[in-house]
Every structure is written in structure tokens, then in C-alpha cells.
Amino acid sequence: MRRISVEPSVAGQNEITIEPGRSTWRMSLEVFLQNRLAVVGLVIVIFMVLFSFVGPLFWHVDAHTHLSRVNLPPSASHPLGCDELGYDELGRLMQGGQTSLEIGLFAALLATVFGVLWGAISGFFGGLLDTLMMRTVDALLAVPPLFLLLFLASIVRINRLELILVVALVAWLAPARLIRAETLSLRTREYVQAVKVMGGGSKRIIFRHIAPNAVGTIAVNATFQVADAILTIAALSFLGLGLPAPATDWGGMLSTGVQYTYVNYWWLIYPPGLAIVLTVVAFNFLGDALRDALEVRLRRR
């Protein structure tokens, strides 16, 4: 029996025991599940996905406006009240969740794939190409994403696919930088050099040694990317440049609710905001836990 101590970001010191002879992935999974915050994050994410995608099977989601029940406060038939067009707020929350989660996930995926390719190419080839590619990233990073998004959203009336593309367009920069640094450092590690000395080809080096080591970084970053993408979409919709009605997302719901702040229609403000915060916190927890689980070097602290 080998004793391994883990220090998760918040939960403090945990001691766990792992029997020898298990695979790295199995060990990572165990470390991950030992982290209470990770489990909390996972539960919230699963809950949000079920709520948004399976929830409409059990709860009636309005397809039409009902002007007779505009801005109704919460009651037995409408647990979260109704919004300014008479949509049931609970059903609307499910619908908005579908948009936020779908777009967040796909935008993060797209950004990660593109960013990883860009960063890997830049780091692998180095030289002038590297300089050029990384300065481009720097230049794009200099402009805050929301400004660029607002600009793009002002040109086109955005649909679902375009929103994914546009969010990914500003999100790929962080993974590109990260993976470039990772590629640079992994390429010069002793164990890679050792493989070279033993006669291992570059194919073997890339797939057996560099890729598995970079996967952790990529996965961790992708998780944070989802959180960021959900926030970005919410901000864009809040500013009135998200998906056109009747589609909505949590940010868009808040932007309609904001007009009723002064008359204290709190049921239009709390639920969508809470949904955003919970989801984002959950993905951040997951990312932190993944980092702890996959960073083998951190385990033996």
C-alpha cells in the first residue's frame, strides 16, 4: 500500500490510499472522486443538464406568450412566476438552460480544438512561424473579447451556430498559449530525450509521451472554457445582442428581468442569475479537481 496525500484547492488535506498496480487513469479517477468539491461540481452539472434537457418532458414549456399572466408572482401553478410576456419562468429557465449549456459546450470544444492545434503547431515548429503565430495571439488578446463580440454581433443578427463560432473565435487564444508552452516544455524533458536516445521515433514520442502528458492540461482548460463561454454568452445576451426571441438563454432572461428591478419583481432576477452562477462554479470546481487528479506531480505534495 502506498499512501498518497492530495491537496485539493479548497477542501484541505485529504489522505487517501491507493493500491499499487492500477493504471494512471484509474488513479486519477479515484483522486477526482475523493475530492468533495469535484463531486459537488459534477452533481450540479448533471442536475443542470437533466433540468434543461429532460425537464421539459415533465414540465410544460410554453411555446406561446400568455398576455393574461404577465409578470405573475410565484404561485402553486407557476413556482417561479411568469415573465413580462407571460412565459412560465420555470419552463423558460429550462429552455434558456438548453441554449446556455449547448452553446457553452460546443463553443468550448471548438475553441479547445482550434487553440490546441494552433499552440501545438506554433510550439512544435518554433522560429519565425512561432513568433508570428504567438504575436497574433497577443494582438487578439489585447482586445477584450466582449468588445469584439459586440462588434461582430452588431454586423450579423446572430443564430445558434454563429453564436458558437463567435464565442469560440474569442476563446481559442488561452488554450493556444497554454498548449504552446506545454509543447515547448514537454519537448525538452529528460524522458523525451531518453526515448530519443533509446531509438524511439517521433511518432512514438508524440503519441506515447507528449500527448498523454498534454491531455491533462487540455482537459482542465476545456472545463474552464465551458464556464467562461457560458458567462460570455450570458453577458452578450444581457446586453441585448444574443439570440433573437423567442429563443432565450439565462443571460437573455436577466436582460428582460432588469427592466422590472425597480418594481422588485425578484423572481425574474434570482433564478436565471443563480443558474448561471451555479453552473459556472460547478465547472470551475470540476476544472480544479481535474487539475488535481491529472497533475501527477502535484499528488505527492
Partner 1 sequence: MTSYLLRRLSHAVIVVFLVTIFVFLLLHLLPGGPARAVLGQRATPRSIALFNQQNGLNKPIYIQYMVYLDHLLHGNLGFSYKLNEPVTTVLAQYVPKSILLVGTAYLLALIIAIPLGIFQSIRRNTIADYFFTAGSFIFYSMPAFWLGLLLILYFAVNIHLFPAEAPQGATLGQIISNPAGLVLPVITIALITVALFSRYMRSSMMENLTQDYVRTAKAKGLNSRQILFGHVLRNALIPIITLIGLSLPTIFQGALITESVFNYPGVGFEFISAAIGQDYPVLLGFTLMIGIASVVGSLLADILYAVVDPRVRYGKGTK
Residues near partner 1, by CB under 8 A: 9-10, 12-13, 135-136, 138-148, 150-151, 153-155, 227, 231, 234-235, 238-241, 251, 254, 257-258, 261-262, 264, 266, 269, 273, 276-277, 280-281, 284
In the complex, minimum distance from the CB of residue 187 to partner 1, in angstroms, rounded to a whole number: 15
Q: Which is nearer to partner 1, 58 or 262 (CB)?
A: 262
Q: Which is nearer to partner 1, 55 or 257 (CB)?
A: 257
In the complex, minimum distance from the CB of residue 241 to partner 1, in angstroms, rounded to a whole number: 7
Q: Which is nearer to partner 1, 186 or 195 (CB)?
A: 186
In the complex, minimum distance from the CB of residue 133 to partner 1, in angstroms, rounded to a whole number: 11
In the complex, minimum distance from the CB of residue 135 to partner 1, in angstroms, rounded to a whole number: 5
Q: Which is nearer to partner 1, 150 or 206 (CB)?
A: 150
Q: By CB neighbour count within 10 A (0-12 exposed, 13-18 middle, 19+ buried), where does 92 fall?
A: buried
In the complex, minimum distance from the CB of residue 189 to partner 1, in angstroms, rounded to a whole number: 18
Q: Which is nearer to partner 1, 195 or 232 (CB)?
A: 232
C-alpha to C-alpha distance for 223 and 279, rounded to whole angstroms: 11
In the complex, minimum distance from the CB of residue 63 to partner 1, in angstroms, rounded to a whole number: 27
Residue 66 sits at the vertex; the CA angle it makes with 63 and 69, to the nearest 5 degrees, is 135
Q: Which is nearer to partner 1, 70 or 258 (CB)?
A: 258
